[in-house]
Amino acid sequence: MVSKRFSAGNADAVTMVKDAADIVDVVGQVVKLRRVGNRYLGLCPFHQEKTPSFQVDSQNQLFYCFGCGTGGDVLSFVTKSQNLSFGEALEFLADRYHIQLPDKEPGQTSGEQESRKEAQGLYQVLEVAADYFYQQLHHSTAGDTARRYLEQRGLPAPVVEEQRMGYAPNQWDGLLNHMRKAGIDRRAGIEAGLLVASSSDRVYDRFRHRLIFPITDDRGKIVAFGGRSLDGAEPKYLNSPETPLYHKGRMLYNLVRAREACRQLRQVVLVEGYMDLLAFHARGFYRVVATLGTALTAQQVRLLRRFADEAVMLYDGDEAGQKAMFKAMPLFLGEALPVSCPRLPTGMDPDDYLKTEGLAGFEQLLEQREDLGKVAITRTLAGWDGTLAGKSKAIEQLQPLFDAAQQPVLQAEYLRLVADRLGLAESVVQSQLQRNRRSSPGRGGPARVHAKVDFDDPHNQTLEEKILRVVLKYPCLIQKFRDSGALEHFHETSLRTIAEALMQTDPGPGQSVAGLYDRLRDADLQETVSRLLLQEDHYGDLEAACLHFDDRLGALKQRQIKKSRKDLLQSIRQAERDGDQLKVKELLQQFQSIYCTRQDLSPDGSP
């Protein structure tokens, strides 16, 4: 994600705009809000729902949706709901609240503005390149091979046109020369990922003799290119490297078009290849996105969740395609986005299928799609060799699936399926899973995704999250939190970062932690803050909150004591095994001095 913040000089502009704007007023223009206590409730504009899970906190000027996990401040609401950049959202709000933004003269640019300017520059460079590739495809003899390839693949002209596809000729300096003539600095070409600088300072074209697919960001601006080799050269697909504008793990091919097309049905089809996707476009089907030559990431799944309630994975029918699909499964479970897959005939890719069966055939296939988790289970168990050892092994293989599937309904469903196929009682499968978890503690915890899925259930919050939440809600506890030294016992990095920033926040007389939001630079952290603040609590009043806080703090400290006690005992045992008597003695003394003088612990370490 491009940095959402204006630093230095523009920080004033952000503060001015945020001070003037009222989130209830701004959201109210888009969402019908109902007041409940000190918050407002409405139907989420970012996902489809019938009962409101979208909430606005006027005191802290934040919003959060418990349905889809979107949250933020007034600026991020405007960027998301109107599809604007941060700068555009700032201007939009400034305009609405009659705020005069500071002039942006080139001589007095701040760091952020520089990078904005630089980004503008890169967009322009990419546009020039796109035009060049387009010209080469359509109006040069060199483009012959590429044109023939498109014809042979059966890609209709309107799709080629709409995608602004192009051709990079078989030259080391085709684009380089073109850019020179256009007055573009070669450094800009390198930064945009179009040119490559060799170690001997030679600069040359990255894409040579390749069919070019422009890749756009979520506003439809070209940020990168994919190039398919036309003579069997490896790799088959070559993509732009990561640049300030292009982050392949956070973008999806043809996202903009799919987002529009998903409005009605809120179902999106996910394919692996550019040509697969375009085969759909050629048949007027636009509810489809593709990954950009890498495995699917959690960020991409979150992106999908913003506009779809169901994902359909349509990967190649070969072994590699199936493997990639099953590997992605925990990501969907982690984001609580239902995912299914239609069964492509073995060895067929989506493009082949559409060619033989047409769109109507695909629609039929789509009707018969199955839950991906169930497909994964069925496939894994199909490999069961009938032996007893094979049973445990099969369950072990399915462990990641169960770890990620936190929704009880899914868990139960999967459990039943596995038990059924292996001829075991569900309770046996369950205890085997638990045993595996205990014997490999590292992987039992889908901690991060887990916390996300169950965010509406306060009982599933971690201790650290509970503490942080009560301080966020009652900022008068910040001092107490600071003094308690609890921070050093925070293990979860994101919560720790938030806690650190919170300790530097002055809630002021309004007891608002709105300032904290601006201090955090990461969108995920900002969303976490919005969620924690808007989560329903049962503290009642400050007094009850204080008790709750003390209680949790005590538990955190106990946890720490137990842990260091365990560590120390382990070191003693290790020293004993090593036969290091001196060390054993030393450690035992240490142990006694710490634990045998403490009144608050019984000998076995429990409180």
Cα–Cα distance measured from residue 216 to residue 254, given in angstroms and rounded to the nearest whole number = 7
Q: Which is nearer to Zn ion, 67 or 169 (CB)?
A: 67
Closest distance to Zn ion from the beta carbon of 529 (Å): 17
46-54, 323-331, 569-577, 597-605 -> range binding Zn ion (CB under 5 A): 46-54
Q: Are 349 and 316 in contact (CB under 8 A)?
A: yes
18-26, 60-68, 152-160, 438-446 -> range binding Zn ion (CB under 5 A): 60-68
Answer yes or no whether residue 44 interacts with Zn ion by CB under 5 A: yes
41-49, 384-392, 437-445, 571-579 -> range binding Zn ion (CB under 5 A): 41-49
Answer yes or no whether residue 46 interacts with Zn ion by CB under 5 A: yes
Closest distance to Zn ion from the beta carbon of 429 (Å): 35
Residue 283 one-letter amino acid: R
Helix (H) and strand (E) counts for the chain?
Answer: 27, 16
Q: Which is nearer to Zn ion, 3 or 299 (CB)?
A: 299
Contacts of 560 (CB under 8 A, 6+ apart): 489
40-48, 82-90, 234-242, 285-293 -> range binding Zn ion (CB under 5 A): 40-48
How many residues bind to Zn ion according to rule CB under 5 A?
6
Q: Which is nearer to Zn ion, 65 or 534 (CB)?
A: 65
Q: Which is nearer to Zn ion, 69 or 226 (CB)?
A: 69
Q: Which is nearer to Zn ion, 70 or 240 (CB)?
A: 70
* Full strand arrangement of the beta sheet holding 222-229: 166-168, 210-216, 222-229, 237-239
Q: Token match 């400034």: residue? A: 94
Among 42, 52, 67, 350, binds Zn ion (CB under 5 A): 67
For residue 465, report the phi and psi dihedrals to the nearest 5 degrees. -65, -40
Helix then strand then coil, in percent of the chain rounded to 5, is 55, 10, 35
Q: Are 405 and 412 in contact (CB under 8 A)?
A: no
DSSP letter assigned to residue 458: G
Answer yes or no whether residue 68 interacts with Zn ion by CB under 5 A: yes
Query: H or E stretch including 7?
Result: none
Q: Which is nearer to Zn ion, 77 or 549 (CB)?
A: 77
Tokens of 560: 């720490």
Q: Are 89 and 79 in contact (CB under 8 A)?
A: yes
58-66, 365-373, 404-412, 560-568 -> range binding Zn ion (CB under 5 A): 58-66
Closest distance to Zn ion from the beta carbon of 264 (Å): 17
Answer yes or no whether residue 65 interacts with Zn ion by CB under 5 A: yes
Alpha helices by DSSP H, listed for 97-156, are 111-139, 144-153
Answer yes or no whether residue 47 interacts with Zn ion by CB under 5 A: yes
Q: Which is nearer to Zn ion, 6 or 46 (CB)?
A: 46
Closest distance to Zn ion from the beta carbon of 1 (Å): 19
- Chain centroid offset of residue 268 CA: 17
What residue ranges bind Zn ion (CB under 5 A)?
44, 46-47, 65, 67-68
